[in-house]
Amino acid sequence: METRGYTSPLREEAAARTRERVLLAAAELFAEGGYARTSVAAIARAAGVAVNTVYTSVGGKSALLLAMVDDGVADEAVRATTAALTSATSAAEVLRLVARGTSVTRDRRELTLSVLLDNRDAHPDVAEAARVAEAEVRARFAEAADRMLELGGLREGVGGEELRRALWFYFGFPAWRVVRAEGLSWGDGAVWLCGQASDSLLAR
């Protein structure tokens, strides 16, 4: 007689908590000591789990990086922004949504992004994870650009390619680093970047 597989909800919840603990420990250690110098054993100690648990819950160091990226892509703010684009009624509203969404996501995922951006030139694993993260963000910006083109209200001559480049310029990884280095809060940074993008892209 064939038995049906069953996973306890409590067990799933415990596994999710373990995964979260492992990823947080990895991100903190990568940020403090660098990706190359951090061992899986050190991550296990910081997370309070066995070394084998790191591998079974997520994987090796490269898998840990990609899992961090996946969690960032699946962030609630990303999903909410993507969903809100469909009901936006103007290109200006799309810019406000992108500004708000990127500010909230960056605030929540700053530790992961610091690891990727600070270590991308030091190890190919980090470079690949950073490439994946950037590609995902650019894909979301492409969706926003398409929606802006549908809604109209853009400055004359602004096309799809220029719009996609501009969204990365104003709201991508480098832009937020500059804004934060200037001392702006995440909220104030969103307002400022949105204003700059609006002046550049929207019809007057």
Number of neighbours of residue 51 by Cβ within 10 angstroms = 14
What does the angle CA 21 – CA 60 – CA 55 come to, to the nearest 5 degrees?
A: 60
Tokens encoding 202: 């929207």
Helix (H, G, I), strand (E, B) or coil at 154: strand
The tens digit of pLDDT for each residue in 179-204 reads 999 999 999 999 999 999 999 999 98
The tens digit of pLDDT for each residue in 48-76 reads 999 999 999 999 999 999 999 999 888 88
Q: pLDDT class for 173, splitting at 50, 70, 90? A: very high
Q: How far is CA 61 from CA 23, 26, 37, 120, 122, in A?
A: 10, 8, 11, 14, 14
Contact 56, 83 (CB under 8 A): no
Length of the chain in terms of residues written: 204
The tens digit of pLDDT for each residue in 129-165 reads 999 999 999 999 999 999 999 999 999 999 999 999 9
The tens digit of pLDDT for each residue in 31-48 reads 999 899 999 999 999 999
Helix (H, G, I), strand (E, B) or coil at 202: strand
Output DSSP code: residue 128: H
Report the half-sphere exposure of 6 (CA within 13 A, side-chain side): 5
The tens digit of pLDDT for each residue in 73-114 reads 888 888 999 999 999 999 999 999 999 999 999 999 999 999
Closest C-alpha to 140, from 173, 177, 174, 92 = 173
Q: How far is CA 122 from CA 2, 32, 119, 173, 189, in A?
A: 51, 14, 5, 18, 29
